[in-house]
Structure 1
Amino acid sequence: MVRTVLLLGAESEVAERLAQAADELDIRLHVATHRALYRNYGDALRNRLAGVVFTDFRIPLHALEQLTEHCVQGGVGGVGVSWKFLSPLGALLASRLGLPGHDPAVAPATRNKWLMAEAFRERGVPHPRTLAVPAPDAGIPAGSAAGLGYPLVVKPAESDGSVGVLPVDSPDDLAGTVRMAQRRRKSLPYGAPVDTTVLVQQHVEGASCGVVTAVHQGRFTHLAILRNYTTTGRFREDTGRTMPAGFGLPTEALILSTVESGLAALGLRDGVAHSDLRVTEAGPTVIAVDVGPPDVPTMQAIELATGVNTAAVYLQTVLGECPGTRPRRTDAAAIRFISTVRHGVFRGLEGLAQSPHVALVRSYVQPGDLIGSAHRKYTRLGHVIVQAPSPDLADQRADAAIAGISSRVEP
């Protein structure tokens, strides 16, 4: 029986991972994208695609009609997304076709953090207290903001990951930070307009963790709990992740029940989600949920530690199939990101082969590339992943591996 999945967008390494998994599962993968973006696809990805449909994600209703026709004609049995901004369109398309998918009535909350905060509030999901500033000229009620306490976190309602997320230490800095967060008007890479609402959010202290969950017919199977590591200070940068997280069974049970309440509030029924949480003294708090597979380093770590292929699981869930989530091993894995604060011409990384425990290593930049941004303190150059029998040993090996790596950057 021929199985076909339409993937909305393929402008990421996640899409390449999905294409590889589709090959392994004998699934025909079609991609919907912009014609201009398709020109940048590499041969490795193009050769794995069974079909391409060109559309314009800037006009969602037109794209919905066009993609519906393509799915009917092409016998598509599942709809996936490689980028969370397309998740509402994916849910609408799957619903129209009668295919597995998330609740389209709630799907806008999977893209928009203000709608997500409201969905969490209505369903009693632990979440930081949040205010919305809908327009650049809208005033911020000083008393309301003060009620959240300082420091605060300011973030665009629609942004990818930590882009535009800024800390605020005092009332004097709040208005300027909100204006800075409202500068972004379009999403990359499709150029679709974004909601310029900005969130003013309570800062939550606590250990950071992520949970990757497979959802099949509304039932949850958790693939991993990862402990997140960051730099200290005002502008924090992810430095790594380790699984298992090692919080202890009672805490992890609370983490998973909190995640499930968040996923249910967002109407998730078939797919994969990645939840970001803080473990506070009062219990776990959901910061945000991203719909779709996590980033490639996280998928690699999960496969090294458990043998579960997250990309394959995602394709199976969007087809409505029972996913292959049973672990084949119970190891630990640790990711460490290679970053630099220097700006200039990248010349290379040294020390990559010094640790015998590195299972995977990846450089994101090539010699001769210009690196550094006026908007970010750190530039991420790559990552290493180690495998070990326990999370403590994985941490030790990963920290030793990253300590031996240096970058050469010329001003």
Structure 2
Amino acid sequence: MVKPVEQGGSWGVSVVEDPADLPAAVAAATRFETAEPHGLPLDSRVLLQIYVPGPEYSTETVVADGVAYALPVVAKDTTAGRHRVETGHTCPAELSPELTLAVQHTAARAALAVGVRNGVAHTELKIPPGTGRPVVIETGARLPGDNICELVEAATGIDEAEAYLRAVTGRPPRTRPTRHRAAAIRFLLPEHAGTLAEVVVPEVPGTRSELYLRPGDTVPEPADSSARVGHVAARAATAAQARRLAALAVHGTRLKVT
């Protein structure tokens, strides 16, 4: 894996299988000089990691006075190939109780290891096939993006932002679920770069959609999260049902880029 040391949204991230492709991957990772839309300068160095196979998950850890509180585990979907763009998330992740605890415990250790004592950490992990052992891909002292806070609250009733604020203001965070349902989000990605000509999302009961771009807008190459045209979010009794509803809406979407 080749990635910028400072960036997000899968920008500049590449999976390199042939050494001959390494120079192009490094060039892609160093092309970002500022973080948009804030304009903050970025470190131009590049991080190389051993590729870890297997499904990917994320979870938040709220830390109050050095005590870690685990939040629900979310399953992550990504594209395959050279670029691994996140295409959706589902809460709960439908792992076994034992593996759920393993993911949460590993994420909590990562948060404490990087020095979080009063705050929150978003940790992304993968579980290599046949191991049952989570591997930390990255952890950051921040709340998650991609509407994950909304997914977690819809599925469990846990308000991650409130838990974060309680931790940094000296109060015990509320991390116990108050409901047991499920939620999923799927992002609308184009097949190629160009100009958005049409996008129509069907109305599927149990879902809602949001568009980020309008016809006439420029659509980037689908190599990172900036190419998203919009998203579909679904709520249901189970994770499988939420995924199915979101998939119905995505598969029925007319998305044309010229």
User: TM-score of the superposition, structure 1-length normalised?
Assistant: 0.58
Distance in 2 of aligned mates of 1:162 and 1:225 = 20
Distance in 2 of aligned mates of 1:377 and 1:305 = 24
1:238 aligns with 2:82: no
1:337 aligns with 2:193: no
**CA offset at residue 401 of structure 1?**
2.2
Distance in 1 of aligned mates of 2:28 and 2:214 = 31
Distance in 1 of aligned mates of 2:216 and 2:162 = 35
1:356 aligns with 2:209: no
Distance in 2 of aligned mates of 1:294 and 1:404 = 28
Pairs aligned (count) = 256
Residue identity in the other structure for 1:318: V
| Contact 1:340–1:378 (Cα < 8 Å) also in 2 | no
Distance in 2 of aligned mates of 1:225 and 1:375 = 26
**Which of 273, 280, 288 is residue 138 of structure 2 equivalent to?**
288
| Contact 2:13–2:83 (Cα < 8 Å) also in 1 | no
**CA offset at residue 270 of structure 1?**
1.6
Aligned to 1:318: 168
**Which of 31, 53, 56 is residue 208 of structure 1 equivalent to?**
56
Aligned to 1:372: 220
> Quick check: which has more Rg, 1 or 2?
1
Label 1:382 to 1:304 Cα distance change in 2 as closer, same or farther (>3 A).
same
Matches within 5 A, 1:5-404: 153-280=1-128, 281-282=130-131, 283-353=133-203, 355-358=204-207, 360-373=208-221, 379-404=227-252
**CA offset at residue 296 of structure 1?**
5.0
| Contact 2:58–2:74 (Cα < 8 Å) also in 1 | yes
Label 1:376 to 1:316 Cα distance change in 2 as closer, same or farther (>3 A).
closer
Aligned to 2:253: 405
| Contact 2:186–2:231 (Cα < 8 Å) also in 1 | yes
Distance in 2 of aligned mates of 1:326 and 1:211 = 15
Alignment deviations for residues 172-226 of structure 1 (CA, whole Å, 9 cap, x no partner): 2223422442333333344443322211210000111111222222222222201
The structure, 1 or 2, with the larger RCO (C-alpha pairs under 8 Å, 6+ apart) is: 2
User: TM-score of the superposition, structure 2-length normalised?
Assistant: 0.89
Label 1:391 to 1:170 Cα distance change in 2 as closer, same or farther (>3 A).
same
**CA offset at residue 275 of structure 1?**
0.7
Distance in 1 of aligned mates of 2:76 and 2:139 = 15
| Contact 1:339–1:378 (Cα < 8 Å) also in 2 | no
Aligned to 1:95: none
Alignment deviations for residues 15-67 of structure 1 (CA, whole Å, 9 cap, x no partner): xxxxxxxxxxxxxxxxxxxxxxxxxxxxxxxxxxxxxxxxxxxxxxxxxxxxx
SS of the aligned residue for 2:229 comes to strand
**CA offset at residue 374 of structure 1?**
8.4
SS of the aligned residue for 2:134 comes to strand
Label 1:251 to 1:189 Cα distance change in 2 as closer, same or farther (>3 A).
same
Alignment deviations for residues 221-242 of structure 1 (CA, whole Å, 9 cap, x no partner): 2222011112222222222111
**CA offset at residue 285 of structure 1?**
0.3
Structure 1 segments unaligned to the other structure (5+ residues) = 1-152
| Contact 2:86–2:225 (Cα < 8 Å) also in 1 | no
Residue identity in the other structure for 1:352: P
Label 1:343 to 1:168 Cα distance change in 2 as closer, same or farther (>3 A).
closer
| Contact 1:336–1:399 (Cα < 8 Å) also in 2 | yes
Q: Give the superposed CA RMSD.
A: 2.2
**CA offset at residue 373 of structure 1?**
3.8
Aligned to 1:11: none
Distance in 2 of aligned mates of 1:368 and 1:273 = 38
SS of the aligned residue for 1:168 comes to coil
Distance in 2 of aligned mates of 1:314 and 1:295 = 14
SS of the aligned residue for 2:88 comes to strand
Distance in 2 of aligned mates of 1:251 and 1:374 = 32
Distance in 2 of aligned mates of 1:402 and 1:189 = 28
The alignment-based identity, stated in percent, is 34
Label 1:348 to 1:223 Cα distance change in 2 as closer, same or farther (>3 A).
farther
Structure 2 segments unaligned to the other structure (5+ residues) = none
Label 1:297 to 1:352 Cα distance change in 2 as closer, same or farther (>3 A).
farther
SS of the aligned residue for 1:252 comes to helix
